[in-house]
Chains A and B, each alone.
Chain A
């Protein structure tokens, strides 16, 4: 099906391709360059982790793809391509319903003549609030947020909020929407879903709210689920439960998950592959095993050294990364990590930006230690 030869993975295996994405924020203080050329492919049915310190652009990447960026920001450059598969074609996820829709004459753009084929959609060309993007959002690309306390609208019941998504994308009535909401709540491990649908967010605990958010995200069986630090605000026990749940659901539904976190432990537990971000760029990208046992970029190594290992010799000191993340308003010449890097090579790292180089199959890194290739 792929008609684009190249070093990239064949398209039947990827669901989302981001290429050279630049997103800038325009503020009173100046232009903040949040993303400076982010590129990655998300393979189907896998969990991809995005790691990095606060402000490195993890969330902005997800928001750029979802086209949910605030008005003060703009995608300056780059492509976001979504490869729509037949089972996601149309939001219902069930072919009989698609047929039904066409019979009703409610034929929409999402009915492709070449049904059964992978369809390429350039998300960055769509109007963020236009009908196409809205039909994709929530149904095919879903997102759950960091703060379960504030992600749910306090004035509507859980049932209302979940069934709203279902009713919107699957064109069912309120009763059916609620029935499906109860179904999905049961799947996310809510003990009494019939009662929960009538509850308001303030009546639920943080963990339960995050389960409700996950239920909402999965309610339309999306192709990709972006989880933006979904467990950061939770206590450790609840966090473990939620991670287990997400792992189970991922296996059950086969949903592709983009897992955004600053927690490497969570990455080890959850992800198949990892992208490490620093100052709006991906600096290393590989499988989860490679990241932990064979990190290449000095920043990745430094990150790994700054977390405690169980079983490591207790006398070993944790190594903080020296310095702080430079503010994104300044434009750094060369590799953005060079002021903090232990392997800094004067005259090289502060002169040009290293290119993203494949150093072994499925492992690429941006660092002059491994290649002299310079980004044009």
Chain B
């Protein structure tokens, strides 16, 4: 098990390096350097820059040096925690990133937990009650869940909440609580604002996972060892949950790694519609405004979060499936 984790960590280090290179390329991709846009911005603010000042800016960002040196400067600064400057905010990128990244991960993880719990329940139920009415209802919901873009679902749920419950669900707090001190009412208000993003972000993942769960469990229930378990005299619950489920969950954990990108993607875009103070709105704004240090750092951090998630999924898989452990 230990050597398995070490090997995975080794792979991860290589991938991480390439991820940062790709992140850097993306920062460099947009036509026109960020110094040009910075100069534009300073001029627009009425500043009158001399050529000397502009050259100083170029030197400060190392734009007079070759590409690989600049990558080295960027990556070494990145490792030290200096991710560059967010021009639009005139703040260091690190200051903007951390509280927002935390919230993004919190939302993503809650949605992940939500979608796993719901998907497993729905998947097991529909597999053990095949061709019954609830099974068909779940199938219809699955198709809808996969077909509705999450931002559209967010919009519809918001309209629904406003029209039916007269609730303003955008943001994390209702307006009267934003600056209020913490109180029970404020916590309740926060909870009122959390369910929509969690459902919306998790919806398509839930739909997909529950389909995978149903199909896997149906496969496993046809296995000989399930019959063996029944022949032992175990109750159907023990047969399903101890013997079949443990084997059916295995492909689900395998796709855990690949469902994370979808969840984090979903979070970033839903956050715009729901006006959540997470990475999404800042990231896409940064892209539109070509604030590339900010965007690049966000992207690399999201990728790192995913890599860690994948590592976790691999370890979980090895723990669940002895065949991988002894590989």
Contacts and interface: CB of A to CB of B under 8 A. Distances in A.
A and B touch in the complex (CB under 8 A): yes
Interface in A140-168: 142-143, 145-147, 150-156, 164-165, 168
B320 interface: yes
B31 interface: no
Contacts of A135: 233
Contact of B227 (A145, A156, A165, A169): A145
B227 A154 contact: no
B322 A155 contact: yes
Nearest to A135: B233
- Output the residue of B231, B236, B250, B321 with the most chain A CB within 10 A: B231
A338 interface: no
Given A145-B224, A200-B322, A155 B232 contact: no
B228 A151 contact: yes
- Output the residue of B224, B225, B230, B326 with the most chain A CB within 10 A: B225
Interface in B275-327: 320-323, 326
Contact of A168 (B232, B236, B322, B323): B232
A147 B231 contact: no
A68 B239 CA distance: 13
Given A151-B225, A153-B228, A154-B225, A134 B323 contact: no
B113 interface: no
Given A153-B247, A200-B322, A137 B231 contact: yes
B301 to A, nearest CB: 35
B234 interface: yes
B247 A154 contact: yes
B326 A129 contact: no
A267 interface: no
A202 B323 contact: yes
A147 B224 contact: yes
Nearest to A142: B231
B193 interface: no
B229 interface: yes
A59 to B, nearest CB: 11
A66 B232 CA distance: 10
Nearest to A226: B231
A129 B233 contact: no
Given A155-B322, A203-B326, A168 B228 contact: no
Given A145-B224, A203-B326, A66 B321 contact: no
Interface string A191-204: 00000000010110
A136 B232 CA distance: 9
B238 to A, nearest CB: 9
B230 A68 contact: yes
B223 interface: yes
A245 to B, nearest CB: 19
Contacts of B326: 200, 202-203
A112 to B, nearest CB: 19
Interface in B228-269: 228-236, 243, 246-247, 250
A138 interface: yes
A139 interface: yes
B159 to A, nearest CB: 44
Contact of A169 (B228, B229, B233, B243): B233
A216 interface: yes
A155 B243 CA distance: 8
Contact of A134 (B234, B320, B322): B234
B231 to A, nearest CB: 5
A165 B248 CA distance: 22
Contacts of A200: 322-323, 326
Given A129-B235, A129-B236, A154 B228 contact: no
Nearest to A213: B228
A109 B322 CA distance: 39
A215 B323 CA distance: 23
- Output the residue of B227, B236, B320 with the most chain A CB within 10 A: B227
Interface in A53-111: 66, 68
Contacts of B323: 154, 200, 202
A150 B225 contact: yes
Nearest to A129: B236
Contacts of A165: 232-233
A281 to B, nearest CB: 25
Contacts of A153: 225, 228-229, 243, 246-247
A373 B122 CA distance: 57
Contacts of A137: 230-233
Contacts of B236: 129
A169 B228 CA distance: 15
A90 B74 CA distance: 75
B283 to A, nearest CB: 41
B231 A143 contact: yes
A74 to B, nearest CB: 16
B269 to A, nearest CB: 38
- Output the residue of A135, A154, A169, A213 with the most chain B CB within 10 A: A154
Contacts of B320: 155
A279 to B, nearest CB: 24
Contacts of B223: 150
Contacts of A143: 231
A151 B227 CA distance: 8
Contacts of A154: 225, 247, 321-323
Interface in A205-246: 213, 216
Interface string A117-144: 0000000000001000111111100110
B185 to A, nearest CB: 48
Interface of A: 66, 68, 129, 133-139, 142-143, 145-147, 150-156, 164-165, 168-169, 200, 202-203, 213, 216
Given A134-B234, A137-B230, 6 more contacts: A134-B233, A136-B233, A147-B224, A156-B246, A216-B228, A216-B232
Interface of B: 223-225, 227-236, 243, 246-247, 250, 320-323, 326
15 contacts: A129-B235, A134-B233, A135-B233, A138-B232, A150-B224, A150-B225, A152-B228, A153-B247, A154-B247, A154-B321, A155-B322, A156-B246, A165-B232, A203-B326, A213-B228
Which 8 pairs from chain A and chain B are nearest by CB?
Answer: A138-B233, A137-B233, A138-B232, A150-B224, A153-B225, A134-B233, A200-B322, A143-B231
